Amino acid sequence: MDENSARAMRMPRMPQRPRKRTEIEQHESADLLAHVTEDQASREEGGREGVATGSRKRRKSSLDSPMTTTARTLPLLVCSIGNPGTTYANTLHSAGHTVVNSLAAHLGYAQFRKEREFGNGLISRPAISGSTGDWTLWQSTSYMNESGKGLKAAFTAWSKHIPVGEEGRVVVIYDELEKPLGSVTVRTNQGASARGHNGLKSILKLMRDVPFARIGIGVGRPVSRESNEVARYVLKKMTPPEKEKIDGSVEEVMKKLQLLERG
């Protein structure tokens, strides 16, 4: 190796000076830095705004949630009409009584007892006060074609226990020919016809100023339309399958009563 080469190897390398950026490069760098800084600030501001907005939404949701209120219900006088005594018990014409007996058992009401003030009808109320809805069960002890007199007295007595300014509702449960056995039909139209039912005729005559709802319990129909055949049909004792059908309507009757008590 010659002397010049050796000297070159021993000489330290001088550090290179950084290349001076042109004005264009400096301008682009400044723009990029400004853009990054602005974008970061925007994200931070957006984040703060998002948190604040979320807080406002939560407060709004809490304030705007509807309050739970208990629906107002009407006291009911639930009446059944039929014929009195063991001779007519569990006949199709007394299907209303059968259903109301099942209703009292289903609700756990107290045993029926006769009350003179209520037209000598049979009354059943909740065994424990306030345990169920405000329903009073009443059974006529009159013959079918005299139902109106007892029901009018019962309504007068029952009305005395309703607070001033409030109102109640009368519901009559009865047997209905021409409807499938055990079916349940509700009528609230006060101008509706009695459709030949002597019990309803008596009630409409004596309580013409008192509106009442009707729940008809279907009892089917005989093959013949002759009056004697119809009378024999509705006054005969129910067969076990027929009684099972009538008793089985009680749950549907309860649903209808719950709708009626809401007004």
Q: Which fold has domain 76-262?
A: Rossmann fold (3.40.50)
| Residue 103 near residue 254, CB atoms below 8 Å | yes
Give the model's pLDDT for residue 173. 98
Give the model's pLDDT for residue 259. 95
Catalytic residue among 35, 93, 106, 197: 93
Confidence of residue 70 (pLDDT cuts 50, 70, 90): low
Give the model's pLDDT for residue 129. 62
Q: Read off the tokens for 194.
A: 């009695």
Question: Domain-by-domain residue ranges, the chain?
Answer: 76-262
Per the model's pLDDT, the better-predicted residue between 134 and 82 turns out to be 82
Q: Please confirm, yes or no, whether 93 is among the known catalytic residues.
A: yes
Per the model's pLDDT, the better-predicted residue between 18 and 216 turns out to be 216
Question: Exposure pattern of 182-201 as b/e (b: 16+ CB <10 Å)?
Answer: bebebeeeeeeeeeebebbb
Separation between Cα atoms, residue 93 and residue 172, nearest integer Å: 14
| Residue 65 near residue 159, CB atoms below 8 Å | no
Average pLDDT, the chain: 80
Reported pTM: 0.72
What is the arithmetic mean of pLDDT over 161-171?
89
Q: What is the 3-state secondary structure (H, E, C) of 148-193?
A: HHHHHHHHHHHHCCCCCCCCCEEEEEEEECCECCCCEEEECCCCCC
Instruction: Please check the confidence at residue 197 and state whether its pLDDT lies above 80.
Output: yes
β-bridge partners, 124? 137
Confidence of residue 49 (pLDDT cuts 50, 70, 90): very low
Range with the poorest average pLDDT among 25-34, 151-160, 185-194, 241-250: 25-34
